């Protein structure tokens, strides 16, 4: 009997792109393309079950080994990731993690700790730790760009795709922190226990990239 593999996809845009890539690699995803509320789908031709979850949960499921693999953005990996294999850069969902502030703001000329608003407190802390600068981090869940405008923070750390939102809110990129794209991650034990199936899946995806 062939072991079934479970793969967790990040719901939304990464999910669509991932399905596109799967189909290109010859993995039929018909059940995923019909409008439905179902969150677990068994693929018809391959021994694969697909789970649709939020980005951060992809990591949790893969780390616990309840999913063998996951597709998740590098931003989420940098923020939450710890122990799994990161085997493929899938080259879609590309954007950048940046530090941004109001145009004309003299960020490093202040004689006090900077306040940084972000959805990525871990990424922000690491970035400033490397620079040797103390900052106070405020966790914001959405539309982080507002924070500097209303004076809650001096700058933000966030993902930027085209830069339109930043521009329209009078913010500019101060520093680029990391390049982001979707990654295929694999549970450490699954890689070893289901080696042939996983390596086969990885090579199918990578040849379709």
**Binding segment toward other proteins, per CB under 8 A, in 12-20, 57-65, 140-148, 155-163:** 57-65
Which residue in 10, 76, 118, 187 binds other proteins (CB under 8 A)? Answer: 187
Residue 78 in contact with other proteins, rule: CB under 8 A:
no
| Count of CB atoms situated within 10 Å of the CB of 189 | 11
Burial group, residue 162, by CB count within 10 angstroms (0-12, 13-18, 19+): exposed
Residue 20 in contact with other proteins, rule: CB under 8 A:
no
Give the separation between CA 209 and CA 207, rounded to whole angstroms: 6
Looking at beta carbons only, is 30 or 207 nearer to other proteins? 207
Which residue in 172, 173, 191, 208 binds other proteins (CB under 8 A)? Answer: 191
**Binding segment toward other proteins, per CB under 8 A, in 6-14, 44-52, 156-164, 180-188:** 180-188
Tell me which residues touch other proteins (CB under 8 A). Answer: 60, 63-66, 83-89, 186-193, 195
């Amino acid at each position: 009997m062939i072991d079934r593999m479970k793969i967790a996809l990040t719901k939304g845009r990464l999910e669509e792109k991932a399905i596109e890539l799967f189909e290109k690699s010859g993995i039929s995803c018909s059940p995923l393309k019909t409008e439905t509320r179902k969150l677990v789908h068994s693929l018809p031709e391959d021994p694969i079950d697909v789970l649709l979850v939020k980005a951060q949960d992809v990591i949790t499921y893969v780390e616990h080994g309840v999913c063998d693999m996951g597709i998740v953005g590098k931003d989420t990996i940098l923020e939450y990731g710890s122990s799994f294999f990161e085997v493929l850069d899938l080259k879609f969902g590309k954007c950048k993690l940046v530090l941004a502030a109001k145009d004309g703001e003299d960020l490093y000329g202040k004689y006090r700790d900077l306040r940084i608003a972000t959805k990525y407190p871990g990424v922000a802390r690491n970035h400033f730790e490397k620079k040797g600068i103390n900052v106070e981090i405020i966790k914001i869940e959405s539309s982080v760009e507002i924070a500097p405008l209303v004076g809650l923070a001096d700058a933000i750390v966030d993902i930027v795709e085209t830069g339109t939102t930043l521009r329209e809110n009078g913010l500019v990129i101060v520093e680029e922190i990391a390049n982001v794209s979707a990654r295929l991650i694999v549970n450490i034990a699954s890689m070893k226990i289901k080696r042939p199936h996983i390596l086969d899946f990885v090579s199918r995806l990578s040849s379709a990239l």
